Structure 1
Amino acid sequence: MPKTILGISIVAISLNVVLGAKILGLFPLPINSHRNLYTPLVQELVQRGHHVTVISPYEETIDSKNGSLRSIVLTGFVDWMTDGMKHVRTFDLADTNIFQKLQTVLTFLETMSEMTLGHRNVQRLIHSKETFDVVIITELLTHAHKALAPHFKAPLVSFSTIGLSSFTNLLVGNPAPPSYVPDLFSDYSSKMTFPERLTNSLMHLYTQVCFNWYVYPQQKELMKKYVPGEYDFDQVIHNISLVLLNSHPSINQPVPIVPNVIEIGGFHIKPPKQLPQDLQEYLDNAPNGVIYFSMGSNLKSAELPMAKRDTFVKTFAKLKQKVIWKWEEDVLPGQPENVKVDKWLPQSGILAHPNTRLFITHGGLLSTTETIYHGVPVLAIPVAADQKLNAQRITKEGFGLLLEYHEISETTLTQKLDELLNNPKYAKNAKECSKIFQDRLTGPMETAVYWVEYVIRHKGAPHLKVAGVDLPWYKYMLLDVGLFIVLSLVLSLYVFCKLTKILISLCVPSKSPKLKRS
């Protein structure tokens, strides 16, 4: 009995190390899809008894008898985003190349990074005397934000909403050979042709150059400007204790990951709630099934060009299936009888219904994750960001098809829908992917919380970091070794040629001059 009591006491003491921990979360991106990701994690940490401070564009609230939640609002961010998007035709992003996409992202994130650190509410916290047990930030190339970890004397957890990317690989020494790991902004699969591998490699090098000669210096200046104290920028950005990845092998291609990178894809998914009565009846009374169509929370179907919109309307009108369409305006011109529209729809609940036959989506990671979870076939129409990459994975796993935005027509749309609805292999493959996705040792949310608390318990868990994080990028990529080998070969060849020329001159007697006859 005494040993049992002692054991319980030891466990209680070890749990007290993390129960009631002070956690700071920085999630500045004013986009609903990102909010839908970090909110469940924050809520779970509060329910576990932690005291969480969240810096975000939204007023976050939660009722809990265990921990607490304090919201520091980045006022003005939502309006800034809304005003900025007024002049952007989002569907035109489908026609930009990967280099243009990267430059657009870098410019946007640079502005947001300075707005965040310079915000009066954030400055008030920075100049307080508070400390935290861990700092969690969204990994967005906003590296100056990472200085909040040493400033508040806390280990750093990076939260990647898009899975692995060049954003995080360089910071934790994670290998990502461009021979089979496509760039985030590309639409390549893991099996690339030679031209694709060449482009992917050039993109990899271009990213390195952008990061080291543009992003890092600019972020270093922001760190010095807004975060008091003397910090070594290289140490700040590489001192990441843990990376939480919104990925899983059933969604993303399998890649090597270092010990402090943890996959938690699907952590935000909860059992669907009861559907509204009208929607429940609409789905129940669909003998031929239902197609669900949504372009996500950032892309809006209502902003589709008229020709593209009419293509969907005319194609849907010819189907025997019902259609539920997320349409953000009051009226859909020419709305067919078999189409139901609404500005907001409970996506997970619709996908969970047994009569849902197909999901037409932009291929965003959250939508892709939810459709895999529920085992529903997909027609992916990617436009921007990682959507083309996700669409390639969908086709590779065989539970969906890709329709390029610029190829949308009544003919192509009808052909894709006929194939997906009438060929049973897509539904079968979707169910198989769902089984793989859900077959885990522990749930993804349990995994996420465990590792955050692990970092707190072990004071940053430095034993998980690989030596690659301490190497400059040119050493990590063995460029210095490659240069040495090339110079050595050139020098050896030069010496060989010189010696050969000397030996030839010694072995071959020179012709004696002819004597002139007198």
Structure 2
Amino acid sequence: MRIFGKMATVVAMSVVVMTLMVVQENNAARILMAVPIGSKSHGNFYMPLAEELARRNHTVTYVTGYEMSSSHPNIRVVVVPDVNIYEKMPNLFTTDTFTAMDAIYDDLKEVCIKALAFEAVQRLNDEKFDLLILCAALTECFLSFAHKLKVPFIYIYSNKFVGAYAALAGSPPFPSLEANFALDLEYPLTFTGRMMSTAQDLFDVLFNDWLG
């Protein structure tokens, strides 16, 4: 009887383990993570998020403008060429932010469409995804995936959410505490600096609404 009891225990434990494996697999999501635009260092923020999702048994298709490597089998990297616009940006240590952004403004207007038109990205239209994760900046054209697939999407950003990006992501900004990065204000912020930062944030929101 003890032998049969031990066998029954082993079988019961095996069933529990198999059930947990099935439940984990059923809860796994197919995620499209589109972060093609940004500097190479942004990958230090985005890729660990993808790897953590993969560790939790989700599969992640990671669209990027740079060669990225991951040893996790649940991560597939799709590299989009010719979208590394920040290589054209002047040195921010010697150039103010507005001048630097003006230098890449024309590229900023086209980079999302160029990334979306890439053949490997277009082939993703034939696949099924359960969730879309987008960089909050300059990836509006990738919302077409959310529209076609009828899936939810999440905005993420490697910098602080300010102005228009905060409004898009539904994350409250604090421009009087964290200066808008377009202004190059020095800390500690003065009262005038806080007012300028808040005004710039409001302008960003209004300008983005006007563009939309």
TM-score by length of 2: 0.72
Deviations 1:357-400 (A, max 9, x none): xxxxxxxxxxxxxxxxxxxxxxxxxxxxxxxxxxxxxxxxxxxx
Q: What residue is the counterpart of 2:137 in the other structure?
A: 140
Please tell me whether residue 74 in structure 1 is matched to residue 80 in structure 2.
yes
Native 8 Å contact 1:61 1:69 kept in 2 = no
SS in structure 2 opposite 1:186?
A: coil
In structure 2, what is the Cα distance between the partners aligned to 1:212 and 1:198?
Answer: 21
In structure 2, what is the Cα distance between the partners aligned to 1:190 and 1:176?
Answer: 17
Q: CA RMSD in A?
A: 3.3
Alignment CA distance shift 1:124-1:56 (3 Å): same
Question: Match for 1:74: what amino acid?
Answer: V
Alignment CA distance shift 1:106-1:165 (3 Å): farther
Alignment CA distance shift 1:102-1:200 (3 Å): farther
Please tell me whether residue 90 in structure 1 is matched to residue 91 in structure 2.
yes
Alignment CA distance shift 1:45-1:174 (3 Å): closer
Q: What residue is the counterpart of 1:198 in the other structure?
A: 195
SS in structure 2 opposite 1:70?
A: strand
Q: What residue is the counterpart of 1:156 in the other structure?
A: 153
Between structure 1 and structure 2, the one with the greater Rg is: 1
Q: What residue is the counterpart of 2:40 in the other structure?
A: 32
Structure 2, unaligned runs of 5 or more = 1-12
Native 8 Å contact 1:99 1:203 kept in 2 = no
Deviation at 1:15, TM superposition (A): 3.5
In structure 1, what is the Cα distance between the partners aligned to 2:55 and 2:61?
Answer: 14
In structure 2, what is the Cα distance between the partners aligned to 1:113 and 1:136?
Answer: 15
Q: What residue is the counterpart of 2:8 in the other structure?
A: none
SS in structure 1 opposite 2:133?
A: strand
In structure 2, what is the Cα distance between the partners aligned to 1:157 and 1:143?
Answer: 12
Please tell me whether residue 185 in structure 1 is matched to residue 166 in structure 2.
no
Please tell me whether residue 117 in structure 1 is matched to residue 126 in structure 2.
no
Q: What residue is the counterpart of 1:477 in the other structure?
A: none
Alignment CA distance shift 1:198-1:99 (3 Å): farther
Deviation at 1:33, TM superposition (A): 0.3
Deviation at 1:156, TM superposition (A): 0.9
Please tell me whether residue 49 in structure 1 is matched to residue 49 in structure 2.
no
Deviation at 1:14, TM superposition (A): 5.4
SS in structure 2 opposite 1:199?
A: helix
Native 8 Å contact 1:28 1:55 kept in 2 = yes
Structure 1, unaligned runs of 5 or more = 217-518
Alignment CA distance shift 1:75-1:183 (3 Å): closer
Q: What residue is the counterpart of 2:4 in the other structure?
A: none
Deviations 1:340-372 (A, max 9, x none): xxxxxxxxxxxxxxxxxxxxxxxxxxxxxxxxx
Deviation at 1:161, TM superposition (A): 0.5
In structure 2, what is the Cα distance between the partners aligned to 1:154 and 1:119?
Answer: 22
Question: Match for 2:54: what amino acid?
Answer: V
Alignment CA distance shift 1:187-1:124 (3 Å): same
Deviation at 1:63, TM superposition (A): 3.9
Native 8 Å contact 1:180 1:191 kept in 2 = no
In structure 1, what is the Cα distance between the partners aligned to 2:194 and 2:119?
Answer: 46
Q: What residue is the counterpart of 1:174 in the other structure?
A: 171
Deviations 1:64-97 (A, max 9, x none): 4xx533232213445x765xx3xx5425x6442x
Native 8 Å contact 1:180 1:190 kept in 2 = no
Q: What residue is the counterpart of 1:211 in the other structure?
A: 208
Question: Match for 2:181: what amino acid?
Answer: L
In structure 2, what is the Cα distance between the partners aligned to 1:167 and 1:106?
Answer: 17
Native 8 Å contact 1:116 1:122 kept in 2 = yes
In structure 2, what is the Cα distance between the partners aligned to 1:41 and 1:180?
Answer: 27
Deviation at 1:168, TM superposition (A): 2.9
Question: Match for 1:15: what amino acid?
Answer: Q
TM-score by length of 1: 0.33
SS in structure 2 opposite 1:39?
A: helix
Question: Match for 1:31: what amino acid?
Answer: S
Deviation at 1:112, TM superposition (A): 1.4
Deviation at 1:116, TM superposition (A): 0.9
Identity %: 24
Deviation at 1:197, TM superposition (A): 3.0
In structure 1, what is the Cα distance between the partners aligned to 2:136 and 2:165?
Answer: 7
Deviation at 1:181, TM superposition (A): 4.2
Q: Which has the higher contact order (CA 8 A, sep 6+)?
A: 2
Native 8 Å contact 2:136 2:168 kept in 1 = no
Native 8 Å contact 2:33 2:133 kept in 1 = yes
In structure 2, what is the Cα distance between the partners aligned to 1:57 and 1:178?
Answer: 30
